Structure 1
């Protein structure tokens, strides 16, 4: 990833979403800045990570064993175990950084940011790197008493089927959408039913980026969405497998293109396709 914020370069709103690696490197010892790496496996983190970063597993920490999402109290417990505080600036990086950011914003944390770069880019630049595992001091994080309107549950989404509101946007690969595979990798272990949510429109999340990993320009990205009926005048809910790609697409819609009502179906296909009673299309 070379310049993931090029889609709206120069816009003041970007400071509410992204932070440059150089800034983060300068604030590694700032007690008001906390770092969280989010991924689907702990292996890379244990081989090396940004100093002080705690780790969240998108499956084990952010979902239950049946892939249903954490509730508010459980998310508070995770924040407390991670030693995070309501007044902290929390910077996310790693494969699942957009999911971490989206959940924090959805639950009302004011200062959540995404590092504008990759693990490898950080290391290639010669910035601090460690295998030391931090021991966060547990906190008592209480989330604001606000409704998480940027998230949608399975029951709520199922209740909208057939209504056309919201637009349901599947951002998985072509093979996943077509029902050729359940997991993105094609693995069969723990796989549920393949397919997609009835009535969903499809836009592979990879199409939002250029070959070097930067977001395409605003006009191109806006056209990709509009060609699929995803327009600012309509509510939209995104989903993928576990919420990571869905959060990326929702972030582009809400924060970078200014769509007023973009939400994430947090449980995504891992939850939907694992339930016997949910309808599917292929």
Structure 2
């Protein structure tokens, strides 16, 4: 039985087998270079997403920038709008059905290879990389250096007018998803942490440690409580027992640092890349940069992201807050 734009079962099975063969031939690491993407851009299995997001208050509009120019074949992923509505927290993970519907509208199947990029280099794209993985899609990579690296290598841009109706479709689909999207999204609970799980980790830290490492990607001054949080009503400080690794330290010139440098940075902060970890930040964006960095060092290790991050923890009156280094 055909549902929405899904293919009939027999045709879908045949297509999945065909794409799986192509997928097996296309090695997809978590981090790819512009030349790698250039050589595979025309693959029928490849989907490229512009996932640009800027901090509130910056005088930039990622949607307008996408309309003006983009990597050829790119689609636009709206991080704020493809999210759970009415939570009071920024860009929380959507429901599996909403994410599946958005993926359908982006022409992404469960066998697609997905490469995500942003216009800062390595800022918001890792959040979308983690989101795909959190919904069970591991065939996703971050373009190292993003659009600036693509341009630095003299690679072309598509500056033709974009189809704005098609750009709106993923958000519309996420807001009103069908009961059974073609893209099957299944939440991987080992990659996501919520408030109650973080409370348990904080309690464990107060009793001498144990459990997962908590790594905070915010600037060091906010971690230490010496700088105010940018969001009103949010306290300064950090989750007890957490370690500070500012996301700016693992990125240089818009690119993720080499593995040997990452290892040194995490070791200096008291973080063991071989142990399970939870990454946190202000709103769950730069935490994913740390998750990507830890994944580069130990791909088989469990690294989760605290989705509510400090926007949630710091705004609650009963969550413990530490300001010690």
TM-score by length of 1: 0.79
Q: 1:127 to 1:93 in 2, by over 3 A?
A: same
For the residues of structure 2 that align with 1:92 and 1:258, how far apart are their CA atoms?
18
Match of 1:106 in 2: 134
Instruction: Tell whether 2:197 aligns with 1:156.
Output: yes
- What is the CA-CA distance between 1:126 and the residue it aligns to? 4.0
Pairwise CA RMSD: 2.8
Selected match of 2:248 from 175, 191, 206: 206
For 1:168, which of 168, 191, 214 is the aligned residue?
214
Q: Which structure's residues are more often helix, by fraction?
A: 2
1:60 equivalent to 2:87? Answer no
Structure 1 segments of 4+ aligned residues over 6 angstroms from their partners: 136-139
Structure 1 residues 217, 91: CA separation in 2 closer, same or farther (over 3 Å shift)? closer
Instruction: Classify the secondary structure of the residue corresponding to 1:77.
Output: helix
Where in structure 2 are there 5+ consecutive unaligned residues?
1-26, 55-61, 174-180
Deviation track 1:51-81 (CA, whole Å, cap 9, x = no partner) reads 3322223333235452243232332232233
Superposition pairs of residues 55-94 of structure 1, within 5 angstroms: 55-65=76-86, 66-67=88-89, 68-94=92-118
Q: 1:258 to 1:121 in 2, by over 3 A?
A: closer
How far has the Cα of 1:36 moved from its partner? 1.1
Task: Please tell me whether the aligned partners of residues 96 and 244 of structure 1 are also in contact (alpha carbons under 8 angstroms).
Answer: yes
Specify every segment of 5 or more residues in structure 1 that has no aligned partner in the other structure, as ranges: 1-13
**What SS does the aligned partner of 2:142 have?**
strand
1:181 match: 228
- Of 35-44 and 57-66, more deviation after overlay is shown by 57-66
Q: Decide which of 203, 220, 235 is 1:193's aligned counterpart.
A: 235
Secondary structure class of the residue paired with 1:34: strand
Structure 1 equivalent of residue 16 of structure 2: none
Q: How many residues align?
A: 263
Q: Is the 8 A contact 1:123 1:129 kept in 2?
A: no
TM score, norm. by length of structure 2: 0.70
Aligned residue number for residue 129 of structure 1: 158
Distance apart, 1:48 and its partner CA: 2.1
